[in-house]
Amino acid sequence: MTYQVLARKWRPKSFETLVGQEHVVRALSHALATGRLHHAWLFTGTRGVGKTTISRILAKALNCETGVSATPCGQCDACRAIDADRFPDYVEMDAASNRGVDDMAALLDRAVYAPVAGRYKVYMIDEVHMLTGHAFNAMLKTLEEPPEHVKFILATTDPQKIPVTVLSRCLQFNLKQMPPGQITGHLARILEAEAIPFEPGALRHLAHAANGSMRDALSLLDQAIAHGAGQVHEEQVTLMLGTVGDDHLYAILDALAAGDADALIAVADGMEARSLSFDAALQALATLLARVALVQFAPTAVADEGERAQLAVHAGRLDAEYLQLAYQIAIRGRDELALAPDEYTGFTMSLLRLLAFRPEQPSPGAPPVGGGPDGAVRKPPVPSVPPMAEKKAAPIPAVAPAQTPAAAPRPKPAADVPPWESLPPEAAIQLPDLVSPRGDRERDEDVAPPLPQEPIAQSDPADGETTVAAAFARGDWRGTVQALGLSGLARELAQHCEWIDCADDKLRLRLSDIYRHLLEINRALPARIESELARALDRPVTLHIEIGVIAGQTPAQRDELDRRERQAQAVAALERDPFVLGLIERFDASLGENTVRLR
């Protein structure tokens, strides 16, 4: 007997056996039960989700000899003929190969005649979006007011290409992609009925590879049965698909929890030896990390108890915040594969990045992370800094600050008040992260609050109360811009201009060529600046901006110089602070200058 592929052998023949698409089945069943039958239906959706299958079941429901109902008998001559593709009143037309106006005219000419053997003539036009414009126009009138014995079923994978005049004449149903869980369950039922041994993990790989298409899943299942000589095993399926097995992914998580770089590289080498896809590996790893995080926050969301138990082991060993970072690293690593020298290098660097950003970095000789008897993560003890009032128990060595003529003496705090609590509210330097020998970054609140900022002289003689008129009179373009209060691109343009001269209220500014684009983005910006100047000075001002080499300094350049000067003074203030010096001495730490932020 000729072998029949699983996709045809197990095609659903009734709404009860249809997998998924419950929203479509419910609507059609109610319409059939109540007799409210539309003359045209449009089914949209990707390949293999059931468009043709539903149209055949609907044709049987309309022509079953037992009557119109949502449960055709499947045994009468009409039902068997439709299943066997030999019912004269059910016509499937492929619009990809019959797309012209002549093909459509021939179909419509036949539609006017009464059915030969059934109750209705049902015309199913597949990939209807392939019809030409003239073919669509030819069918419009018949589609809107067909004979009572004619029903149209249109199917397409691209509804955007169908004219709105056709869409408005149809009831539209969007068929969804099948979730992996539904595909896995259906494949398992088929294999049990076929008495074929299988492993659940293999079906999960097939379901993910099908990408929502049940027909693709059944075709892959046929291939897997042939590849496994009548059996469906996970290892054989992963080899067939070229996908990464769960053993590789869980080995990566084990290596990350143990901080074992050699094990991570071994996983990458094993994947390269089997020619597995590194892109698919990073995608699968991101999915697994998301599932682990899901178990941490919402365990009941993972329905499979076996999978949930397996994920729970890693959920207890990996920090929740680190999982979020690891997910981002996996996603970003996949995007960067195309930029890497080769995929193996890009994949191994992603693995090493995952290892480098682990929150625990034990010193040599310390027990591995997650080495507790219950497998839970054990953070090494963090040496605590004693309160200032308890210095006698664990004193911090005092280091005398370097005395300079510019250094202002600090006010002496009260005996029972920590020095930082006696500081004025305008103290503006944020203490940077301090790095201990273990590599752990201590939080600011665990070490010390912000330290005071040394007084910094303003580079501009004008203070915040300077008016536009005062700054403009002395030729201070920076002060003028600050007092004007410009915003957006107008401020950006003014900040990068240099004052040349001003005679008879005709102001000349110079803009560097590298900022010429500011004028090209919006040519109305000079007029806006001119208008703001005229309003502030209460007299008309003419503004001219020329392109050239900056001879002096623009406001933007002055602001950057001031910022660098204040940054340097802030770093110097921290380097002289006894408390910071004590922490550096105690923990052999260092001060990261780029982490000092000015408020």
Which CATH number does the domain housing residue 198 bear? 1.10.8.60
Helical ranges in 96-199 per DSSP H: 101-111, 133-144, 164-167, 180-194
Tell which wins on pLDDT, 155 or 244. 155
Within this chain, do residues 255 and 114 fall inside the same structural domain, yes or no?
A: no
CB neighbourhood size of 90 (10 A)? 27
For residue 345, what is the domain's CATH number? 1.20.272.10
CB 523 within 8 A of CB 535: no
Within this chain, do residues 330 and 405 fall inside the same structural domain, yes or no?
A: no
Within this chain, do residues 73 and 164 fall inside the same structural domain, yes or no?
A: yes
Q: For residue 430, is it within any domain?
A: yes
pLDDT at 411: 42
Rounded Cα distance, 255 and 478, in Å: 57
Residue whose structure tokens are 């097939």:
206
Of 178-192, 244-258, 534-548, minimum mean pLDDT range: 244-258
The proportion of the chain whose per-residue pLDDT surpasses 70, expressed as a percent, equals: 82
**Position 251, amino acid:** A
Return phi, psi of residue 357, to 5°. -100, 15
Reply yes or no on whether the pLDDT at 581 is more than 80.
yes
Residue 27: name the closest of 66, 54, 60 by CA. 54
Rounded Cα distance, 74 and 56, in Å: 11
Q: For residue 387, is it within any domain?
A: no
pLDDT at 599: 65
Q: For residue 386, is it within any domain?
A: no
Domain stops at, among 212, 241, 270: 241
Reply yes or no on whether the pLDDT at 64 is more than 90.
yes
pTM: 0.52
Q: For residue 185, is it within any domain?
A: yes
Span 434-462, average pLDDT: 39
Polymer length in residues for the chain: 599
Q: Is 241 helix (H, G, I), strand (E, B) or coil?
A: helix
Reply yes or no on whether the pLDDT at 256 is more than 50.
yes
Q: For residue 374, is it within any domain?
A: no
Within this chain, do residues 155 and 168 fall inside the same structural domain, yes or no?
A: yes
Reply yes or no on whether the pLDDT at 402 is more than 50.
no
Q: Is 46 helix (H, G, I), strand (E, B) or coil?
A: coil
- Residue 144: which pLDDT band, with cuts at 50, 70 and 90? confident
Span 19-45, average pLDDT: 91
Within this chain, do residues 37 and 110 fall inside the same structural domain, yes or no?
A: yes
Within this chain, do residues 309 and 214 fall inside the same structural domain, yes or no?
A: no
Domain count, the chain: 5
Rounded Cα distance, 468 and 485, in Å: 10
Residue whose structure tokens are 């009138």:
141
Of 70-84, 93-107, 119-133, 363-377, minimum mean pLDDT range: 363-377
Span 522-537, average pLDDT: 87
Most confident of 337-346, 455-464, 488-497: 337-346
Rounded Cα distance, 44 and 22, in Å: 15
Rounded Cα distance, 355 and 261, in Å: 7
pLDDT at 352: 94
Domain stops at, among 174, 201, 227: 174
Of 70-84, 140-154, 420-434, 500-514, minimum mean pLDDT range: 420-434
The proportion of the chain whose per-residue pLDDT surpasses 90, expressed as a percent, equals: 33
Rounded Cα distance, 154 and 355, in Å: 53
Of 86-100, 177-191, 195-209, 413-427, minimum mean pLDDT range: 413-427
pLDDT at 181: 85
- Residue 150: which pLDDT band, with cuts at 50, 70 and 90? very high
Residue whose structure tokens are 């095993």:
233
Reply yes or no on whether the pLDDT at 423 is more than 50.
no
Reply yes or no on whether the pLDDT at 264 is more than 70.
yes
**Position 465, amino acid:** E
- Residue 98: which pLDDT band, with cuts at 50, 70 and 90? confident
Span 103-113, average pLDDT: 89
Residue whose structure tokens are 């499947």:
74
pLDDT at 496: 92
CB neighbourhood size of 109 (10 A)? 9
| Mean pLDDT for the chain overall | 80
For residue 490, what is the domain's CATH number? 3.30.300.150
**Position 159, amino acid:** P
Reply yes or no on whether the pLDDT at 456 is more than 60.
no
Reported as a single tens digit per residue, the pLDDT across 269-303 is 988 888 888 998 999 899 999 999 999 888 888 87
pLDDT at 439: 40
Domain stops at, among 159, 174, 189: 174
Rounded Cα distance, 317 and 256, in Å: 10
Within this chain, do residues 273 and 219 fall inside the same structural domain, yes or no?
A: no
- Residue 466: which pLDDT band, with cuts at 50, 70 and 90? low
Within this chain, do residues 148 and 200 fall inside the same structural domain, yes or no?
A: no
Within this chain, do residues 144 and 193 fall inside the same structural domain, yes or no?
A: no
- Cβ neighbors of 419 (< 8 A, separation 6 or more) are 388, 410, 413, 579
CB 105 within 8 A of CB 111: no
Residue whose structure tokens are 């179909």:
107
- Residue 151: which pLDDT band, with cuts at 50, 70 and 90? very high
Tell which wins on pLDDT, 218 or 490. 218
Q: For residue 456, is it within any domain?
A: no
Q: For residue 568, is it within any domain?
A: no
- Residue 525: which pLDDT band, with cuts at 50, 70 and 90? confident
CB 311 within 8 A of CB 292: yes
Most confident of 6-10, 424-428, 485-489, 514-518: 6-10
Q: Kindly list the distances between the CA atom of residue 340 and the CA atoms of 272, 327, 349, in Å, as whole numbers in the listed order.
A: 16, 19, 9
pLDDT at 80: 92
For residue 79, what is the domain's CATH number? 3.40.50.300
Within this chain, do residues 433 and 502 fall inside the same structural domain, yes or no?
A: no
Q: For residue 377, is it within any domain?
A: no
Which neighbouring-strand residues pair with 174? 44
Residue whose structure tokens are 């503006």:
428
Return phi, psi of residue 429, to 5°. -100, 130
Residue 221: name the closest of 193, 198, 248 by CA. 198
- Residue 364: which pLDDT band, with cuts at 50, 70 and 90? very low
pLDDT at 99: 84
Reply yes or no on whether the pLDDT at 111 is more than 80.
yes
**Position 383, amino acid:** P
Within this chain, do residues 236 and 258 fall inside the same structural domain, yes or no?
A: no
Within this chain, do residues 484 and 432 fall inside the same structural domain, yes or no?
A: no
Its domain, for residue 414, covers 396-451+577-598
Of 114-118, 395-399, 578-582, minimum mean pLDDT range: 395-399
Span 205-221, average pLDDT: 90
Kindly give the pairing relationship between strand 434-435 and strand 506-511. Answer: unpaired
pLDDT at 152: 94
Burial string for 418-454 (b: 16+ CB within 10 Å, else e) reads: ebbeebeeeeebbbbebbeebebebeeeebbeebbbb
Tokens of 64: 């079953």
Of 46-55, 233-242, 441-450, 565-574, minimum mean pLDDT range: 441-450
